[in-house]
Amino acid sequence: MLKGLYILDKHAYDNIYGEEERKDILKYVDIYGPPQTAETIKNNISLLKDADVIFSGWGCPHMDKEFIEAAPNLKAVFYGAGSIKYLVSDAFWDKGILITSAYAANAIPVAEYTLSQILYSLKLGWYYALSTKRDKKYPPKKVAPGGYKSTIGIISLGMVGRRVCELLRPFDVKVIAYDPFVKKEDAAKLNVKLCSLEDIFKNADVISLHTPWLKETEGMIKGIHFSSMKQNATFINTARGAVVNENEMIDVLTKRSDITVVLDVTYPEPPRPKSPLYILPNVVLTPHIAGSMYKECNRMGRYMVEELERYVKGEKLRYMITRERSAFLA
């Protein structure tokens, strides 16, 4: 039987790996020690010497050279959360350790949040709700795009972007997308037409950003893009704040009160205390709630149980991340 440990924040452990998930993991793995955090494993690093597998999530320590050398038997890491960007190292990859992530499970609530904001924005819901509360009277009616023959723009067709497209299938809307790494025939399978980033902003009634934050994508959404948005259009960001040049965005928002932005992420996060994002009337802020929360986190643990079962059977891991692929992920 495999030997393993849980290493993650206590809060993450309680939410990700529920009672049923822990029972199922015990069918295949001897969990030979209590759940560890990044701090406790640092102080008890000798615990790693017998670990074949590690189950983790938010709060996972950086698996640097010292960590890897202390875990000579480590063969696989099951990361019950999304991005692995901050936990892997060259030493990790050089050792040939497998890693799988619950990024696909975490994409589900992000896509659901996005869908809710798209549909609400097509009715200009935030304009009416915020204006009524601020002015204590109903605002003038605006021409809303509505949910029929309107255009939705998706920026990046990764796991979340694709799922948003799938969720939009039942609606009578046109979906256009920008992703330089996706072929036209693959986009067509999603009922999506590819176009340029500039065309997304010029033609979409609602735009949703799903681009990972990489060195190459930092600040890629600029003021000129916001300036070109359609009358009464809405921009939604559930990706990362740093993908947007927020200073340029703010400058446009002060001049164009007709457009609305819904930001579940900012840079920095939360915004600085005196940031205009708190007071601009056409900005909606939510505190990074699109991803898995509370019971939704348990889905990520279940995905890791399913990956463990594939691993034990010698099957290909469905959500395995390679060194090469990690360079293109958030």
Over residues 128-136, mean pLDDT: 96
Residue 188 has pLDDT above 70, yes or no: yes
7 contacts 38 by C-beta, under 8 angstroms: yes
What Cα–Cα distance (Å) separates residue 206 from each residue in 6, 114, 201? 41, 11, 9
Each residue's pLDDT tens digit, 294-327: 999 999 999 999 999 999 999 999 999 999 988 7
126 pLDDT band (50/70/90 cuts)? very high
Beta strand 2-7 with 53-56 is parallel
Over residues 246-258, mean pLDDT: 98
- Only one residue has tokens 């691993």, namely 311
Residue 249 has pLDDT above 80, yes or no: yes
What lies within 8 Å, CB to CB, of 268 at 6+ separation is 241
- Residue 240 annotated as catalytic: yes
Each residue's pLDDT tens digit, 64-115: 999 999 999 999 999 999 999 889 999 999 999 999 999 999 999 999 999 9
Question: Which listed residue (216, 218, 269, 315) is catalytic?
Answer: 269
Residue 330 has pLDDT above 80, yes or no: no
Alpha helices (H) in the chain, listed in sequence order: 10-16, 19-26, 38-43, 65-69, 90-94, 103-122, 125-135, 159-168, 184-189, 197-203, 223-227, 246-255, 295-312, 323-326
73 contacts 4 by C-beta, under 8 angstroms: no
Report pTM.
0.93
Quote the tokens at residue 162. Answer: 């694709």
Quote the tokens at residue 119. Answer: 């549909």
Average pLDDT, the chain: 97
For residues 239-273, b (16+ Cβ closer than 10 Å) or e, as one string? bbbbbbbbebbbebbeeeeebbbbbbbbbeeebee
Question: Which listed residue (66, 112, 256, 288) is catalytic?
Answer: 288
Residue 329 has pLDDT above 80, yes or no: no
Least Cα distance to 50 among 1, 100, 88 occurs for 1
Question: Which listed residue (162, 210, 225, 240) is catalytic?
Answer: 240
- Residue 318 annotated as catalytic: no
Least Cα distance to 225 among 239, 205, 244 occurs for 244
- How far is Cα of residue 175 from the mean position of the Cα atoms in its chain? 20
What would the DSSP string read from start to end of 226-279?
Answer: HHTPPTT-EEEE-S-GGGB-HHHHHHHHHH-TT-EEEES--SSSSPPTT-GGGT
Least Cα distance to 28 among 53, 56, 46 occurs for 53
Over residues 160-171, mean pLDDT: 98
- Residue 288 annotated as catalytic: yes
Residue 280: helix, strand or coil by DSSP?
A: coil
Name the amino acid, one letter, at 239. A
Domains of the chain: 2-101+294-326 (3.40.50.720), 106-285 (3.40.50.720)
Residue 316: helix, strand or coil by DSSP?
A: coil
